[in-house]
């Protein structure tokens, strides 16, 4: 697994979050860890096909997701993960991944992405724990968004 696989997603996440939530995130420590779905987290899973095959998974605590959606809606306070909130947080993952796939294309790597799949429960995920290249984005006043890239 190469560290450069995560860079387009990291750079894209910084750009998109700054545009949609007016927050400049900082970067945490890059590492490799087992991806495990835990309760009270929101997971946005995007599949990749083409020259890179696998998934990118964005994970954030439910409270962080609510704060993120509130920031995306111009500060309107969101208190539950209703259909609108789920749609907004899914679209965040979609925008980050779409932008990253364009960056990869510009580097000569052809990749297509699948529509985002929102996973709100570890049991519903049906996901087998795998090793992933992971890096957290720290957003002041909001919390952390983990970017996890699982490439085969």
- pLDDT tens for residues 4-29? 778 999 999 999 999 998 889 999 99
Separation of alpha carbons 32 and 64, rounded Å: 22
pTM: predicted TM-score of the whole model, two decimal places: 0.90
Whose tokens are 């309760």? That residue is 39
Q: pLDDT at residue 127 above 70?
A: no
pLDDT, residue 152, reads 67
Query: Residue 149's beta-bridge partner residues?
Result: 56, 133
Residue 125 has pLDDT above 60, yes or no: no
Query: pLDDT of 42-76, one tens digit each?
Result: 999 999 999 989 999 999 999 999 999 999 998 89
In degrees, rounded to 5, the angle at the alpha carbon of residue 81 between the alpha carbons of residues 65 and 12 is 35
* Beta bridge partners of residue 44, listed in sequence order: 58, 118
Q: Is-contact 68 22, C-beta < 8 A?
A: no
The answer to whether 99 touches 91, Cβ cutoff 8 Å, is no
């Amino acid at each position: 697994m190469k560290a450069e696989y995560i860079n387009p997603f990291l750079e894209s996440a910084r750009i998109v979050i700054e545009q949609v939530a007016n927050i400049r995130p900082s970067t945490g420590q890059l590492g490799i860890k087992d991806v495990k779905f835990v309760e009270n987290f929101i997971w946005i899973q995007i599949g990749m096909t083409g020259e890179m095959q696998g998934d990118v998974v964005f994970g954030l605590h439910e409270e962080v997701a609510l704060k993120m959606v509130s920031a995306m809606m111009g500060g309107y306070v969101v208190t539950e993960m209703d259909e609108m909130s789920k749609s907004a947080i899914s679209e965040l993952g979609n925008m980050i991944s779409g932008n990253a796939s364009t960056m990869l294309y510009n580097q000569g790597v052809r990749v297509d992405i699948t529509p985002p799949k929102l996973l709100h429960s570890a049991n519903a995920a049906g996901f087998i724990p795998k090793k992933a290249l992971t890096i957290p984005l720290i957003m002041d006043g909001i919390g952390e968004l983990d970017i996890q890239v699982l490439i085969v």
